[in-house]
Chains A and B, each alone.
Chain A
């Protein structure tokens, strides 16, 4: 089942912070976060694994609550370049394919 992201959209001023949430109804093995700008490919930001391991960009932080099957992406001191649509992709670990089920996306607009 598709994870649910919230909020659907957010508008920030430069320097402000934002939190994007991703919630699944299934037990998760990993959560991926990607950012996509209009007309471009999704770009990998971070992966959070069951057991606490994280891999990603230094300026991006996120959390993964395995029991609640939820993840949050924290964007601090936002810059204009942070604008885009953020997707979480979840892997339930039922197969070893690494197949991701993506949420519907959260559109972030950062204004000067």
Chain B
């Protein structure tokens, strides 16, 4: 069990550029979540995958955000035409069942300048 791995750890990008983050969950975990966290706040739900199927997406998520989980393994989160308001920590979490809690990755910190 190597935990949940996220890359890159930090990303600085210019406004208007596209960015992509990667999450490698614990191998036997079929559930994968993306959350966004800003300073002083709790994580905010973005989207959920069960295996390769994206089953829920936050209504707060604009169409500039897209996520994939091909073959039910790693997942990517892409933000197109980044805005300064997208600056945040993007967290990935994985789990087997909701009854056992989730394992979070260390996150990718995005700064849009």
Contact = CB atoms under 8 A, between A and B. Distances in A.
B95 to A, nearest CB: 7
Interface residues of B, number: 27
Contact of B99 (A2, A34, A49): A49
B101 A47 contact: yes
Interface string A90-104: 010001011111111
B42 A104 contact: yes
Interface string A1-27: 010000000000000000000000000
Interface of B: 4, 31, 33, 35, 40-45, 48, 50, 55-56, 91, 95, 97-107
Contacts of B35: 102
A104 B98 contact: no
A55 interface: yes
